[in-house]
Chains A and B, each alone.
Chain A
Amino acid sequence: MTTAVHQGLAPTRESLSNGAVILAKETHTTPAVAFSATFRAGSIYDPPGCVGLAHFLSRVIDRGTATRSADDIAEALDGRGVSLMVVATRQVMTLACICLAEDFDAMLELVADVCMHPTFPDREIETRRREIVTSIRQDEDNPAVMAVEGLMGVLYPDGHPYGQRTRGSIATVEAIGRSELQGFHARTFSPSALSLVVVGDVVASRAIEQAAHVFGGWNGPPTPPAAVPDPPAAGGRRQVVTPMMNKVQADVAYGFVTIARSDPSYYPFLLMNNVLGQYALGGRLGDSIRERQGMAYYVFSAFDANVGRGPLVIRAGVNPRNVDRAIASIDEELRRLAADGVTARELAESKQYLVGSMPRTLETNAGIGAFLQNVEYFGLGLDYDVRLPRLINDVTLEQVNEQARRYLAPERAALSIAGPYEGVRESRD
């Protein structure tokens, strides 16, 4: 049996002289290592008129370096069973992979080379451009994507960086060339914008040594984090409909602009959202819309408190004839939660769940890695996993209910419906 060691993750953290930050955590669950290199290079850094540039970079950055062709990289990865994933979100770009412990040195060296010395061969730019255009066309035929993108556009209008589509449009993607990619890379990929997290079957000090070896000689200007402006305050209820009459089911996205990660009300909001649309099978929303009314296979709420004020998004997939009823049920649950608050029992259960699920979250190398990237990105501290239970348990009922009262107002909600539903085209007031 394990012996309880009240130490927590206790990762090792080191800053290199060029500003790069490395976190390492040794584990021995499998003879493998998960590592990720994250840069402040998400789509909020796309220059005006060049929406989709960060995403384009994520598709082509690993297709050739000064010393490796795309084929060389392909062979190096495939030969070890490694798939390198490069993902651009609105905030960051992450290069991540899982490899056998014996391949760690070689893979880290390869990923560092990709980060520092990409060459963007013309042939690769054109091939990946065609892939992106196809994926944008697929999105246009996907009601779930269209509903959420529509909602983000309503919540974050007038060119706000959260309202732009990460993939861009076909027009912007067609206009992106090598010089834009090189320029974006030069601006955003610098050692001071890098956090490298290594978790797995490698001694932490050796992981850091190896990271210092491959990234230590890299120099570049510091890149200040972008400030995300507040979106305009919601005047009233707004709705956008994307008719997709070739589809069978409609997707509803319903939401509000909420808080930033640094907001002191983050933990009360986290618990409020858990009660509303997460706990067990979709919280109160799941009880009403799936369990009691049988209207939807999925309904839940999610919130993304980030550098800027992020959205709370409620999602449901429903038969088109139930769209209005589902929305009325969401309205009703929000009003009830704002008026009456959560119960003491609900709050206790959500606390117990959020704290109790931490061992599962931190079971795998990839899970620990994602947790530590978050710790570094938001400056939460190396003992965050040990402090988190207290931060959750100290939240009071009144603090949770205050968040419900402040944010859950159907009359200020934004709605986006995509699918075989025509409804009211658009009514903004």
Chain B
Amino acid sequence: MSDQVSKPQPGDRYNGDMGTSTQEENGRLAARVLDNGLKVLVQEEHTAPLASVWCWYKVGSKDEAPGLTGVSHWVEHMNFKGTKNIPRDQVKGIIEQFGGSWNGYTWIDQTTYLETATHDALDRMLFIESERMASCLYDPEDCESERTVIISELQGGENDPDQLLDTEVTAAAFKAHPYGHPTIGWLSDLERMTRDELYGYYRRYYVPNNATLVVVGDLEADDVFRAAERHFGAIQPGTVPPRVYTKEPAQIGERRVTVSREGTTSYLKVAYHAPAAAEADFVPMLLIDAVLAGAKGANLWAGFRTPPPQRSARLYRALVDSRLASAVGGAILPTQDPFLYAISVTVAEGVALATVEQAAIEQLDRLGREGVTEQELAKAQRQLGARLVFENDSITNIAHQIGFFETIATVDVYRDLPSRIADVSLDQVNGAAAKYLRPTNRTIGWFEPVPPGSGAPVTADEPPTSGPTSEAR
């Protein structure tokens, strides 16, 4: 590594400083755009002596053409393997020296990288991200070694029947829009893709005018802007390829897909085409999900690690309390283009899939027809309001939300969530229910376990999850 930052002294990283400010002093968001187009968003949070840096790129698996599926995620992996000024053998420990953690993930709309460490690591974190943007190496041997790591990641996902089903349902729901293929890619593409294809993709998309840098923590905003200029100012802008313009045609009839594999347990999914994050119907759909399966909030990084409050939710009562299922979940995730609202059900031992499907569909159709009640809406609003507080409990989580929404929509969509949730009307919610929860708008998927020996031959040609694909940990 270069001598850009001094090495921290051993043992000086925890002095019992717990921070002294209160929530009222924090939370102002400041924005600048550098001359090369890099957008920098800074929020001061003086609650702990920490800083979190996230660098977001407007590239994800929806930008991948056939033959290159999985390239966004593989590029993300390659961007942890050393740069011009961070030799390969000095990657290890580069942020751990500051007690920090790092990670990254790729999903359908975006790729992102983060470090969270003590606040004096700001220069180090910005240095890493500037190197990642402009100077990664793509050593051919590293590309080959990472090919098998990614195939291992794919195959680990395939071990999970619920993920297998998710991939099949998503693929069936999209016939035109590239949201249909999984973020990790199809195996044959991962086997064939070349180093030059990876590197070319990296060079096209990793330019400052296609990125958003987010810094949240115990820092002064002006210091951060100066440091960002110092680290990123000399990086040249590029021509960013246009994004997908294909719109998924309106679905004109229910679709069904079945996965027949050996297994012990049946799974059911029902997925409806759903509004994008910036659309007016997105918040009503969040509330509908809360009524059906309990509110999860809107933070993929944080909010989904604790289960939703759902014991009184309609689908929980109809499926779990009735002993038809052992678990039910709903997911309407914020995306740039219209994606899916998906219900996932783990079928109870000894219960037929058709029975569970009938009970689930009855609830979904009824909600589409009759909407929700005033009382249900009020409860869903309280739930979501509380979840938004819970999911913003760390600078890492706050920084995620700012960058995530700025990348798929605008940061205002995120900042307006609490008021949009509070102000929504029953008519809006029930209008969205009638519009989206229609039989012709859905894809129904079954994972139907078959007895040992009678399943399809097990080869590594089936896909993994379509959820966010994480670098590590």
Which chain A residues lie closer than 8 Å to B50 at the CB level? 359-360, 363
Q: Are A140 and B264 in contact (CB under 8 A)?
A: yes
Q: Which of B62-70, B308-316, B405-413 contacts A (4 or more CB under 8 A)?
A: B308-316
Is A340 interfacial (CB-CB < 8 Å)? no
B385 to chain A, nearest CB (A): 7
Q: How far is the CB of A27 from chain B (nearest CB, A)?
A: 8
* In the assembled complex, A73 has its CB within 8 A of some CB on chain B: yes
Flag if A246 contacts B455 (CB, 8 Å): yes
Is A349 touching B93 in the complex (CB atoms < 8 A)?
yes
B472 in the interface (beta carbon within 8 A): yes
From 1 to 25 in chain B, residues with beta carbon under 8 angstroms from any chain A beta carbon are 8, 10-11, 13-23
Contacts known (A78-B313, A138-B346, A349-B93); A359 close to B99, Cβ less than 8 A:
yes
Q: Which of A16-24, A185-193, A204-212, A288-296 is near enough to bind chain B?
A: A288-296
Question: Is A126 interfacial (CB 8 A cutoff)?
Answer: yes
The reply to whether B309 and A78 form a contact with Cβ atoms under 8 Å apart is yes
Nearest CB in chain A: distance from B190 CB, A: 13
Please give me the residue from chain A that is nearest to B148 by CB atom: A294
Residues in chain A near residue B242, CB distance under 8 A: none
Q: How far is the CA of A3 from the CA of B20 in the complex (A)?
A: 7
CB-CB contacts below 8 Å: B414-473 with A: 452, 455, 458-460, 462, 472
Judge whether A281 and B348 touch: CB under 8 Å.
no
On chain A, the residues within 8 Å of B459 by CB distance are 248
A249 touching B389 in the complex, CB below 8 Å, given contacts A74-B312, A78-B309, A294-B147: no
Cβ–Cβ contact B348 & A79, under 8 A: no
- Are B321 and A100 neighbours in the complex by a CB distance under 8 Å? no
Residue of A nearest to B317 (CB): A74
Residues of B within 8 A of A131 (CB): 320, 326-327, 348
Q: In angstroms, how far is the closest chain B Cβ from the Cβ of A292? A: 7
User: CB of B118 within 8 A of chain A?
Assistant: yes
**Pair B452/A357 contact, Cβ less than 8 Å:** no
* In the complex, chain B residues 91-133 whose Cβ is within 8 Å of any chain A Cβ: 91-93, 96-101, 116-118
Cβ-based interface call for B189 (8 A): no
Q: How far is the CB of A162 from chain B (nearest CB, A)?
A: 25
Q: Are A296 and B149 in contact (CB under 8 A)?
A: yes
Tell me if B83 counts as interface (CB < 8 A to partner A): no
Report if B336 contacts A (CB, 8 A).
Answer: no
Verify if A277 is at the interface (C-beta below 8 Å from B): no
Q: Are B348 and A130 in contact (CB under 8 A)?
A: yes
Contact B97 A135 (CB under 8 A): no
Determine whether B145 belongs to the interface, using a CB cutoff of 8 Å to chain A.
yes
**B11 close to A389 (CB less than 8 A):** yes
Cα distance A414–B92 in the bound complex, in angstroms:
29
Contact present for B99 and A358 (CB under 8 Å): yes
- Structural contact, A356 and B14, CB atoms closer than 8 A: yes
Q: Is the CB of A81 within 8 A of B455?
A: no
- The answer to whether A2 touches B19 (Cβ under 8 A) is yes
Of residues 272 through 327 on chain A, the ones whose CB sits less than 8 Å from some CB of chain B are 279-281, 287, 290-298, 317-319
Q: CB of A176 within 8 A of chain B?
A: no
Once the chains bind, are A280 and B96 in contact (CB under 8 Å)? yes
Cα A353 to Cα B349 in complex, Å, equals 45
Interface residue? A142 (CB, 8 A): yes
Assess the A363–B48 pair: CB atoms within 8 A: yes
Q: How many residues of B contact A (CB 8 A)?
A: 93
CB pair B152 A295 closer than 8 Å: yes
Q: Which residues of A are found within 8 Å of B17, using beta-carbon distances?
A: 2, 4-6, 359
Interface residue A234 (Cβ < 8 Å from any Cβ of B): no
- Give the Cβ gap from B450 to chain A, nearest Cβ, in Å: 9
Contacts of B382 in A (CB 8 A): 79-81
Binary flags per residue of A359-401, CB closer than 8 Å to B gives 1, else 0:
1101111100000000000000000011011000100000000
* A28 adjacent to B22 (CB under 8 Å): yes
Q: Considering the complex, which residues of chain A in the window 59-97 have a beta carbon less than 8 Å from any beta carbon of chain B?
A: 70-71, 73-75, 77-83, 85
Looking at B156-164, B195-203, B269-277, the stretch in contact with chain A turns out to be B156-164
Interface residue A203 (Cβ < 8 Å from any Cβ of B):
no
Interfacial chain A residues near B29, Cβ < 8 Å? none
A138 surroundings in chain B (CB, below 8 A): 264-265, 346
Question: How far is it, in angstroms, between the C-alpha of A100 and the C-alpha of B20 when the chains are bound?
Answer: 21
B386-408, CB under 8 A of A: which get 1 and which 0? Answer: 11011011110000000000000
Contact partner of A5 among B18, B100, B158, B159, CB < 8 A? B18
Q: How many Å lie between the Cα of A291 and that of B80 in the bound state? A: 11
Asked if B191 lies at the interface with its beta carbon under 8 angstroms from chain A, I say: no
Are A294 and B146 within 8 A (Cβ)? yes
Given contacts A1-B46, A81-B384, A249-B152, contact A356 B13 (CB under 8 A): yes
| A237 contacts the other chain (CB 8 A) | no
Residues from chain B with a CB closer than 8 A to the CB of A366 are 393
Instruction: Tell me which of A144, A279, A294, A359 contacts B13 (CB under 8 A).
Output: A359
Asked whether B306 is an interface residue with its Cβ less than 8 Å from the other chain, the reply is: yes
Residue B295 at the chain A interface, CB threshold 8 Å:
yes
Report B-chain residues with C-beta under 8 Å of the C-beta of A135.
Answer: 326
Q: Determine whether the beta carbon of A319 is less than 8 Å from that of B152.
A: yes
B394→A82 contact, CB < 8 A: no
Whether B155 pairs with A73 at a CB distance below 8 angstroms is no
B102: nearest chain-A partner, CB-CB: A280
Would B155 and A249 count as touching, CB distance under 8 A? yes
Which residues of chain B come closer than 8 Å to A360, judged between CB atoms?
Answer: 50, 99-101, 116-117
Contact with A along B329-371 (1 / 0, CB 8 A): 0000000000000000011110000000000000000000000
Question: Within the complex, what minimum Cβ distance (angstroms) separates B456 from chain A?
Answer: 10
For the complex with contacts A130-B326, A360-B117, 12 further pairs of A-B residues with Cβ separation under 8 Å are A31-B389, A78-B294, A79-B312, A81-B309, A247-B458, A280-B92, A352-B99, A356-B8, A356-B99, A362-B18, A362-B48, A363-B50
Q: Could you list 18 examples of A-B contacts with CB < 8 Å?
A: A2-B46, A30-B23, A32-B393, A74-B311, A78-B310, A79-B382, A81-B390, A99-B386, A127-B321, A131-B320, A246-B455, A248-B458, A249-B159, A294-B147, A355-B99, A356-B118, A360-B50, A365-B393
